Amino acid sequence: MDKILNQINHTTYKIEISGIVQGVGFRPFIYRIAAKHKLNGAVSNTTEGVIIKINTENPSSLDLFIDDINSLKPGPSIIETIRFKKIPYMDFDDFTIKKSIKTSERFQLISPDIATCGPCLEDINNKNNSRRYYYPFTNCTNCGPRFTIIKRMPYDRPQTTMAKFKLCKNCLLEYNDPPDRRFHAQPNACSVCGPKLMLVDSNGEKTGSGDPIINTAKLIKKGKIVAIKSLGGFQIACDGTSDKVVSELRRRKRRPVKPFAVMFGGTGPVKKYYEACSKEIESLASSRAPIVLLRKKKNNHILSRFVSFYNLYEGIMLPYTPIHHLLFNHIDGPLVMTSGNISEEPIAAENIESFEKLKSICDYYLIHNRDIYSRYDDSVIKIFNGREMVLRRARGYSPYPVKLKKNIGNKTILSVGAQEKNTFCFLKKNYAIISQHIGDLDNLESIDFFKSTLSNYKNLFNIENIDLIACDCHPDHASSRIASKLKSGQKTRVQHHRAHLASVIAENQINDTVCGFSWDGTGLGDDGKIWGSEIFVVDCKFKFERVGHLSEKILPGGRITIKKPYRMAITYLYYLWEKEKKGSKEKFPEFIYNILPSYKNIASSIEIDTIEKQIKTQYNSPVTTSMGRFFDAVSSLLDLTHINTFEGEAAIHMEMVSDEGTKGEYRIEINRSQNKAIIDDFGIITQILEDISNRVPAGRISAKFHNTLTKMILNISQEIRKERDINKIALSGGVFQNNLLLKKCFSSLRNDSFEVFSNFMVPVNDGGISLGQAYIAAIENYPGRKE
Ligand code: ZN
Ligand code: ZN
Ligand code: FE
């Protein structure tokens, strides 16, 4: 009789929640909310999200239940959609958590790894907590490894690298106890049953007795360089305050200038040594725990000057695993904490691999036996105009998708990204799932990393069939070659600078005509030339019209000149010499040495002769309009950087020495040719040479140079607005990593009522190319689906 009454009074609702709802304590959370509302039913994880079934008498209690889900959801979770509908009545006696079910081909978003939460931090520092005091793998449903340990979906322990650790009796109790913070925490572990740390020397022999973390702290304090196996790979740690240790690390890592990332124990010292605003501190201390670029205070340093040299910014992060937190219990000062790799190779992730790769760098290794399934670098961000701007997207950020305005339905697009700072991207429905930072695809290790990550994403996101593959126009790019070998999927090519702008249009959901400045170092253009200062008008249908760029010049010897800015300076001077010599017998090297006597020590007359020949014959020397090379040339002329030891070094040097108070700019001449604005960069170089001969300091010249580029962008934007009534300006490409330039452009354009857009969610550098490629492929091939 009771049963029948039940049926009359009760209705069953099915609630489907999508978003990041797996591996973030969502099911236990739903369990607690259901208990609070005294609702019977069940919750389960599926490959498409979380499904809840509840019985309730009135719709208003359903509303209250859903309100609570939205407002009280666990910190690391992100709800994309909540849908509910009535379903045929089901009988529930209580509320239960069901096992994960595998369902159709729809895909589930996967949580990035999450920094150690407050309660777990209390556990590891609580002497009375016998199982977790100093236990370095402590985690819960609100924190710990996720993406790096998942082999397959749905996210359950047997599908992770934790499968080999059998839960002890107490861990199992927590795991099965709904009110517990560790209820269904898949990586749950304790000192009895979980992974273990070990400190070994460079021969792989265990070293020291007692706690390996305390021993590691002692070694670091003694000046040793230690590799630490972290969430997504090895990090190399050493005393950041010691000139001797930091310069030794630079020598061993063969990294003369590129700044190192640094870890501080807490926000206190960060505020003391850096000009950090509240937003910066918030990002730093967030569960994503990225490296945040912070401006150094002028006269208050703690780090060795070898950490960042002339750079005004340092990349700072806070501890994000129990290993880091415990280490900082025994170390006061900041630690250099750099990726465990050799130059641009991928981060080392396995124990044996690390000995092999890092043996010339590290003295000791703090290793453990929890395997890393996916390598995952630390992410790098900065705060720009109060918003996070991601410069390297990995831990804490990927594979969280970027939502698009366009929905491609049940099609799948793969884009394979750029040659440098590679990422790839899957586009499904209206989601762009962008891989973590993979790096420069110019060595076998990186290419292997690309391939294994690609197959991992296919697995995790249930991608069986790829309809369309987008790659760069350059046929020799490693990613293009991999793409051409993939079996399924029609292939399409997307030009590099168009992809940069499309990434801005995609992430900002722009549905309007824009004028875009795509400024960077290198990208193959439609005409086989190396572009890099491209200005496009892009209409709603994604028709790109190239409306301007710098003048064309030769890049003598190709790649070698990208590495050596002084060769680019000599190239600019060649064209001036050609114009000026008019019958004079002055040889090219003499001309150079007369203008710039210091070049006698930089380039031999033989090399200058060779450059002259390369320009004349164009042998192995493409034509370029690169803005990056323009910066290179000026940086060398100003005697700042003559050789790039890392990408963008010469330009960064200019930004850093710029005297920010300097007003004024150089005259800008724009020539019209075939309906295009050709910017006369030689005219600007001539004015810079005048300033140099008048002994104007490099800092002032550099500031004027930045002002000139800003004015150039403003002038061209104004002209285009007048001609075509376009008010939206997009800025993308590696040149806009330059904070000074970006700041100046945003403010001068906004002052003139332009709407200005750039990349925030994906890197403005080539890390964002994959998003742009995928978006262009989507618009061009699946029209009519823009929502
Ligand atoms: Zn926790
Ligand atoms: Zn245990
Ligand atoms: Fe680029």
- Render pLDDT for 280-331 as a digit per residue (tens, 0 to 9): 999 999 999 999 999 999 988 999 999 999 999 999 999 999 999 999 999 9
Task: Kindly give the distance from the C-alpha atom of residue 778 to the centroid of ligand 3, in angstroms, as a whole number.
Answer: 20
699 CB contacts (<8 Å, ≥6 apart)?
A: 657, 658, 659, 662
Task: Kindly give the distance from the C-alpha atom of residue 275 to the centroid of ligand 1, in angstroms, as a whole number.
Answer: 30
Rg over alpha carbons for the chain, rounded to the nearest Å, is 28
Q: How many residues does the chain have?
A: 787
pLDDT tens profile 207-254:
989 999 999 999 999 999 999 999 999 999 999 999 999 999 999 999
Backbone angles phi, psi at 241, to 5 degrees: -95, -10
Task: Kindly give the distance from the C-alpha atom of residue 522 to the centroid of ligand 3, in angstroms, as a whole number.
Answer: 6
For residues 697-724, average pLDDT? 98
User: Which ligand has an atom closest to residue 124 CA?
Assistant: 1
63/37 Cα distance (integer angstroms): 11
Task: Kindly give the distance from the C-alpha atom of residue 182 to the centroid of ligand 1, in angstroms, as a whole number.
Answer: 8
**Parallel/antiparallel/unpaired status of strands 78-87 and 514-524:** unpaired
Which residue, chain included where needed, has tokens 């001969």?
A: 693
**Parallel/antiparallel/unpaired status of strands 335-339 and 261-263:** antiparallel
Task: Kindly give the distance from the C-alpha atom of residue 628 to the centroid of ligand 3, in angstroms, as a whole number.
Answer: 10
Task: Kindly give the distance from the C-alpha atom of residue 767 to the centroid of ligand 3, in angstroms, as a whole number.
Answer: 8
pLDDT tens profile 512-527:
999 999 999 999 999 9
431/774 Cα distance (integer angstroms): 11
Instruction: Determine the pLDDT at residue 101.
Output: 67
**Parallel/antiparallel/unpaired status of strands 40-46 and 95-97:** parallel
Judge whether 405 and 504 are in contact, CB under 8 Å: no
251/361 Cα distance (integer angstroms): 9
More confident: 77 or 4 = 77
User: Which ligand has an atom closest to residue 116 CA?
Assistant: 1
Torsion (CA) 476, 481, 482, 488 in degrees, nearest 10? 150
453/448 Cα distance (integer angstroms): 8
Question: Residue 416 corresponds to which tokens in the numbers above?
Answer: 């394979």
User: Which ligand has an atom closest to residue 188 CA?
Assistant: 2
Instruction: Map 243-278 to HEC letters.
Output: HHHHHHHHHHHCCCCCCCEEECCCHHHHHHHECCCH
Instruction: Determine the pLDDT at residue 104.
Output: 54
Task: Kindly give the distance from the C-alpha atom of residue 52 to the centroid of ligand 1, in angstroms, as a whole number.
Answer: 25
137/165 Cα distance (integer angstroms): 12
* Residues paired with 402 in a beta bridge: 432
Task: Kindly give the distance from the C-alpha atom of residue 498 to the centroid of ligand 3, in angstroms, as a whole number.
Answer: 10
Distance of CA 430 to the CA centre of its chain: 21
Long-range contacts of residues 54-62, Cβ cutoff 8 Å, at least 24 apart? 54/12, 54/13, 54/15, 54/92, 54/95, 55/10, 55/11, 55/12, 55/13, 55/89, 55/90, 55/92, 56/10, 56/11, 56/13, 57/9, 57/10, 57/11, 61/37, 62/13
User: Which ligand has an atom closest to residue 181 CA?
Assistant: 1
Instruction: Determine the pLDDT at residue 299.
Output: 84
Task: Kindly give the distance from the C-alpha atom of residue 180 to the centroid of ligand 1, in angstroms, as a whole number.
Answer: 11
Task: Kindly give the distance from the C-alpha atom of residue 118 to the centroid of ligand 1, in angstroms, as a whole number.
Answer: 7
Backbone angles phi, psi at 594, to 5 degrees: -70, -45
Judge whether 208 and 199 are in contact, CB under 8 Å: yes
User: Which ligand has an atom closest to residue 733 CA?
Assistant: 3
Task: Kindly give the distance from the C-alpha atom of residue 529 to the centroid of ligand 3, in angstroms, as a whole number.
Answer: 14
Instruction: Determine the pLDDT at residue 784.
Output: 59
451/706 Cα distance (integer angstroms): 40
Instruction: Determine the pLDDT at residue 103.
Output: 57
Judge whether 612 and 663 are in contact, CB under 8 Å: no
The 8-class DSSP code of residue 670 comes to E
Q: In 77-212, which ranges are E strands?
A: 78-87, 95-97, 197-201
* b/e 388-419 (16+ beta carbons within 10 angstroms → b): bbbbbbbbbbbbbbbebebbbeebbbbbbbbb
Task: Kindly give the distance from the C-alpha atom of residue 767 to the centroid of ligand 1, in angstroms, as a whole number.
Answer: 31
For residues 751-775, average pLDDT? 98
| Helices 496-507/769-781 angle, 10° precision | 80
Task: Kindly give the distance from the C-alpha atom of residue 684 to the centroid of ligand 2, in angstroms, as a whole number.
Answer: 68
Instruction: Determine the pLDDT at residue 305.
Output: 96
Instruction: Determine the pLDDT at residue 354.
Output: 81
Question: Which one, of 397, 404, 405, 403, lies nearest residue 423 by Cα?
Answer: 397
For residues 681-686, average pLDDT? 97
pLDDT tens profile 622-632:
999 999 999 99
**Parallel/antiparallel/unpaired status of strands 530-538 and 755-757:** unpaired
CA angle 185, 186, 192 (to 5 degrees): 85
User: Which ligand has an atom closest to residue 773 CA?
Assistant: 3
pLDDT band at 5 (very low <50, low <70, confident <90, very high): very low
One-character DSSP codes across 494-518: E-HHHHHHHHHHHHTT--S-EEEEE
pLDDT tens profile 485-496:
988 889 999 999
343 has a pLDDT exceeding 70: no
367/136 Cα distance (integer angstroms): 11
302 CB contacts (<8 Å, ≥6 apart)?
A: 240, 241, 269, 273, 333, 334
User: Which ligand has an atom closest to residue 732 CA?
Assistant: 3
pTM of the predicted model as reported, rounded to 2 decimal places: 0.93
727/716 Cα distance (integer angstroms): 12
CA angle 138, 376, 498 (to 5 degrees): 145
Task: Kindly give the distance from the C-alpha atom of residue 385 to the centroid of ligand 1, in angstroms, as a whole number.
Answer: 32
Please return the burial class of 555, using the count of CB atoms within 10 Å of its CB with bins 0-12, 13-18 and 19+: buried
User: Which ligand has an atom closest to residue 287 CA?
Assistant: 1
620 CB contacts (<8 Å, ≥6 apart)?
A: 557, 558, 614
Task: Kindly give the distance from the C-alpha atom of residue 143 to the centroid of ligand 2, in angstroms, as a whole number.
Answer: 17
Say which range, 398-402, 637-641, 682-686, has the weakest mean pLDDT. Answer: 398-402
440/707 Cα distance (integer angstroms): 32
Mean pLDDT of the chain: 93
Judge whether 220 and 365 are in contact, CB under 8 Å: no
Instruction: Determine the pLDDT at residue 6.
Output: 46
Task: Kindly give the distance from the C-alpha atom of residue 371 to the centroid of ligand 2, in angstroms, as a whole number.
Answer: 18
16/34 Cα distance (integer angstroms): 15
210 in the Ramachandran plot: left (φ > 0), alpha (ψ -120 to 50) or beta? left
Question: Which one, of 40, 68, 69, 37, lies nearest residue 54 by Cα?
Answer: 40
Torsion (CA) 557, 562, 567, 570 in degrees, nearest 10? 100
More confident: 277 or 57 = 277
Instruction: Determine the pLDDT at residue 239.
Output: 98
Please return the burial class of 386, using the count of CB atoms within 10 Å of its CB with bins 0-12, 13-18 and 19+: exposed
Question: Which one, of 766, 762, 759, lies nearest residue 742 by Cα?
Answer: 759
pLDDT tens profile 518-573:
999 999 999 999 999 999 999 988 999 999 999 999 999 999 999 999 999 999 99
191 has a pLDDT exceeding 70: yes
Which residue, chain included where needed, has tokens 């086989």?
A: 528
Backbone angles phi, psi at 441, to 5 degrees: -90, 50
Task: Kindly give the distance from the C-alpha atom of residue 288 to the centroid of ligand 1, in angstroms, as a whole number.
Answer: 13
104/85 Cα distance (integer angstroms): 19
Backbone angles phi, psi at 121, to 5 degrees: -65, -40
At residue 79, the 3 state secondary structure works out as strand
97 has a pLDDT exceeding 90: no
For residues 181-206, average pLDDT? 93
Question: Residue 456 corresponds to which tokens in the numbers above?
Answer: 């991992």
Percent of the chain with pLDDT over 70: 97
Task: Kindly give the distance from the C-alpha atom of residue 193 to the centroid of ligand 2, in angstroms, as a whole number.
Answer: 4
571 CB contacts (<8 Å, ≥6 apart)?
A: 553, 554, 555, 556, 561, 611, 615, 633
Percent of the chain with pLDDT over 90: 80
Question: Which one, of 365, 364, 294, lies nearest residue 334 by Cα?
Answer: 294
186/252 Cα distance (integer angstroms): 39
User: Which ligand has an atom closest to residue 130 CA?
Assistant: 2
One-character DSSP codes across 402-463: EE-SB--TT-EEEE---SSSB--EEEETTEEEEPPP-B-SSSHHHHHHHHHHHHHHHHHTT-
